Amino acid sequence: MFSYRHAFHAGSHADILKHLTLIHLVEYLQEKPGALTIVDTHAGAGIYSLVDGFATVSKEAEGGIFRLSQFFGKNSETPESIRKYLEMIQAENTGEELNTYPGSPFIIARLLRPQDRLKLFELHPKEIDILRHNIGELKEAKQIDVYAADSFSRLKGLLPPPSRRGLVLIDPSYEDKQDYRYLENAMEEALQRFATGCYAIWYPILSRRESASLPDHLKKIAATHKRSWLHTELRVENAPGERRLQASGMFIINPPWTLEKHLDEALPVLVKALGVDAGAKYVLKSFEA
């Protein structure tokens, strides 16, 4: 426990899928003026260097954000569904070069309107200090609460949010294989309290049984609560072994109706831009309750 540091993985292909989806969810929910509460259950450090420290060990951004931004270069043909994401990453960098990558807390914070609130959970004793420091630098800091707590047990206590309009990003490290079970329990509890919330769950695609069965378990939970869902996966390579993460997925409960079209435009382009071998592909499925 606590060996996971997101700085090793910042800007990877998995972050691209997650953050591109996240931006669309926030922007859709902000089409209505009512206050929005966003909970990021696994926050990480908030923002990361792409050129120093952990990032230079893993080099995951090379197959992710660096590759994607090179693919488009100054190309004005960047699809609408990807443009906003790239603009948000670029906005955290002063020059043309990408040195910094914003994690989900920074991406969400930059999108907050005055009426919105952000709740961040982080359990790692070092990451929480870095997160608090990074959030303190933001002009939106007053709208943000940071909790050094286990979000799986604390999420239900924040639901439903006062405005009854909420988005929950659930992005565990899955360092502990029990995380799959904790997540499923937390989703059950969350839907009992706040069935109409939008829930976005990220997961790694691995051969481990818990990972392979997670989407089916989530479909069952959604069905029990009569909820719509959208399931997407992005695979950048299909090589033997699991030395590095080759694919990841997102499962969205109560997705906005616009999300499928958004991802249908973005995913083939991401496969083209980030695909390493002929096994690169995507999955996009949905169910309307």
Positions touching ligand SAM (CB under 6 A) are 4, 6, 18, 40, 42-44, 103-104, 121-124, 127, 150-152, 171-173
Per DSSP, 91 falls in state H
Q: Tell me the β-bridge partners of 102.
A: 47
- Annotated catalytic, 171? yes
Q: How far apart are CA 260 and CA 177, in angstroms?
A: 30
| 228 annotated ligand binder | no
Nearer to ligand SAM, 176 or 264 (CB): 176
Shortest reach from residue 10's CB to ligand SAM, in Å: 7
Nearer to ligand SAM, 44 or 166 (CB): 44
Contact 66, 96 (CB under 8 A): no
| 104 annotated ligand binder | yes
Per DSSP, 233 falls in state E
Nearer to ligand SAM, 15 or 116 (CB): 15
Shortest reach from residue 122's CB to ligand SAM, in Å: 5
Nearest one of 23, 33, 34, 41 to 190, comparing CA atoms: 41
List, in order, residues 6 or more apart from 188 with CB less than 8 Å away.
221, 224
List, in order, residues 6 or more apart from 164 with CB less than 8 Å away.
194, 196
Q: What does the DSSP assignment read for 54-65? A: HHHHH-GGGGTH
Shortest reach from residue 126's CB to ligand SAM, in Å: 9
| 42 annotated ligand binder | yes
Q: Which residue in the list 52, 171, 179, 264 is annotated as catalytic?
A: 171
| 19 annotated ligand binder | yes
The CB density around residue 265, as the number of other CB atoms within 10 Å, is 13
Nearer to ligand SAM, 78 or 104 (CB): 104
Shortest reach from residue 275's CB to ligand SAM, in Å: 22
| 216 annotated ligand binder | no
Contact 241, 14 (CB under 8 A): no
Active site residues per annotation? 171
Binding residues for S-adenosyl-L-methionine: 19, 42, 104, 122, 150-151, 171
Binding residues: 19, 42, 104, 122, 150-151, 171
